[in-house]
Structure 1
Amino acid sequence: MNLNSEEEFLNLISEDDWMMDILLTVKSLDLPDWWVCAGFIRSKIWDTLHGYRYRTPLTDIDVIYFNDKNKDEAEEKELERKLNKLRPNVPWSVKNEARMHFVNGIPPYLSSIDAISKFPETATALGLKLDEQNNLILTAPHGIDDVINLKVKPTDYFKKDEDRMAIYKERLVTKNWKTIWWNLKIQH
């Protein structure tokens, strides 16, 4: 299968009942500036492009939001508990991007989309959410070309810094994506 446009990309997601259920579940929390992002999207695309009939396992479902009025990590854990009650057996990971700059030792993010733009790989810098009518909204600060063309490369934010590039290279080793998706073209 080929994915040649954002419309085909979004149609693929919208036809996946499990992914839509995940998005509806997160939407029910009514979080400010929320997105489900990263591997949740990337893996679906790569699985499809590799012809897999079944979803490859996800280590977590990354849910991000931006609330600069409550930066307490305990709030994130409470949201994970709520999501686990709604959908048990889903590996939820909830992060408030308004506080993650403390964790990452960088200047504050301006929004969730700003945070996504600074993810390590362009193919992972993706977010999805639902609008009021449950239509999919995609954010892809670096576009979708790399993910649909099976290219793995660092975002400019990571390329500009030696320490961040070390993190990118370490992720390539630990994620070992090529053993799952053999057609990937990885930039080291």
Structure 2
Amino acid sequence: MLGRLPLDEQLQGLRSALSRNEILTDVMTRAATLDLPGWYVTAGCLFQTVWNVVTGRPPANGIKDYDIFYFDDGDRSWEAEDAVIRAGHELFADLPAEVEIRNEARVHLWYEQKFGVPCPPHESTEAAIDSFAATTCCLGVRLKLDGGWRVYAPHGLSDVFNLVLRPNSVLAPREIYETKAARWQDEWPELTVLPWPDASTGAPPPSLPNETARPA
């Protein structure tokens, strides 16, 4: 199983799996032309592609949208972000998928109103990815100038390949995790969904046996 291989082999397996989703690779190639600071394609389109490949489904099965995060703290105005969103709409208009672009330097300006909890200002796109409701979701990929891939995976890749959903209580409320988990498990019943940490102890969910260690 890929989830029990050394990290370098997992990275090769990740690229192989993601490359089977032609919509995803097209989004990545086009996103690079926008030249957005600190950008990544991130979230469900990545780990759900892996889930599909691992379970023998079509690579783009069940993927709701394709998220692109970037970080521009030089201009946090809605007008600047909207200009990027409009450029993206034009760039991706012919793709059979919805592509959402967001400036993560602005998230703290609207997060509490939408989700009911305050969000400290993010310091980078990576910090924004760190705050996803599940550690399994904390994954970002972008193309480098030399054609290689930059992969950000602060919690490693084992859970992604092993179809384990592990909560991340850094920011998102419990109900967001549980709502997403229920929706994803309905689409991918092979998922193992770990419970939210015990509020009385703050203890994280137990690790699974033979889990590959995190990258340093």
TM range (shorter): 0.7 to 0.9
Counting only pairs closer than 5 Å after superposition, residues 74-89 of structure 1 correspond to structure 2 as 74-88=79-93, 89=95
Query: CA 1:124 to 1:109, structure 2 compared with 1: closer, same or farther past 3 Å?
Result: same
Corresponding residue for residue 104 of structure 2: 97
- Aligned positions, number: 182
CA distance in 2, matches of 1:7, 1:19: 17
* In the alignment, structure 1 residue 172 sits paired with structure 2 residue 181: yes
Corresponding residue for residue 164 of structure 2: 151
The answer on whether the counterparts of 1:61 and 1:91 sit within 8 Å (CA) in structure 2 is yes
The answer on whether the counterparts of 2:62 and 2:187 sit within 8 Å (CA) in structure 1 is no
CA distance in 2, matches of 1:9, 1:98: 28
Corresponding residue for residue 141 of structure 1: 154
Residue 16 (structure 1) shift: 4.0
Cα shift readout 1:10-45 (whole Å, capped 9, x = no counterpart) = 232245443221101111000000011001101100
In terms of mean alpha carbon deviation, does 1-10 or 46-55 score higher? 1-10
The answer on whether the counterparts of 2:136 and 2:166 sit within 8 Å (CA) in structure 1 is yes
Q: Secondary structure at the match of 1:28?
A: helix
Residue type at the aligned position of 2:135: T
TM-score, normalised via structure 2 length: 0.77
The answer on whether the counterparts of 1:27 and 1:130 sit within 8 Å (CA) in structure 2 is yes
Counting only pairs closer than 5 Å after superposition, residues 99-118 of structure 1 correspond to structure 2 as 99-104=106-111, 105-118=118-131
Larger Rg: 2
Corresponding residue for residue 142 of structure 2: 129
The answer on whether the counterparts of 2:20 and 2:59 sit within 8 Å (CA) in structure 1 is no
Residue 134 (structure 1) shift: 1.9
CA distance in 2, matches of 1:17, 1:172: 26
Query: CA 1:17 to 1:54, structure 2 compared with 1: closer, same or farther past 3 Å?
Result: closer
Query: CA 1:6 to 1:54, structure 2 compared with 1: closer, same or farther past 3 Å?
Result: closer
Corresponding residue for residue 71 of structure 1: 76
TM-score, normalised via structure 1 length: 0.87
Unaligned runs of 5+ in 1: none
In terms of mean alpha carbon deviation, does 176-185 or 23-32 score higher? 176-185
Residue 54 (structure 1) shift: 4.8
Residue 2 (structure 1) shift: 4.4
Q: Secondary structure at the match of 1:132?
A: coil
Corresponding residue for residue 184 of structure 1: 191
The answer on whether the counterparts of 1:117 and 1:142 sit within 8 Å (CA) in structure 2 is no
Q: Secondary structure at the match of 2:154?
A: coil
Identity %: 27
CA distance in 1, matches of 2:55, 2:78: 37
Q: Secondary structure at the match of 1:172?
A: helix
Query: CA 1:167 to 1:18, structure 2 compared with 1: closer, same or farther past 3 Å?
Result: closer
* In the alignment, structure 1 residue 61 sits paired with structure 2 residue 66: yes
Corresponding residue for residue 205 of structure 2: none
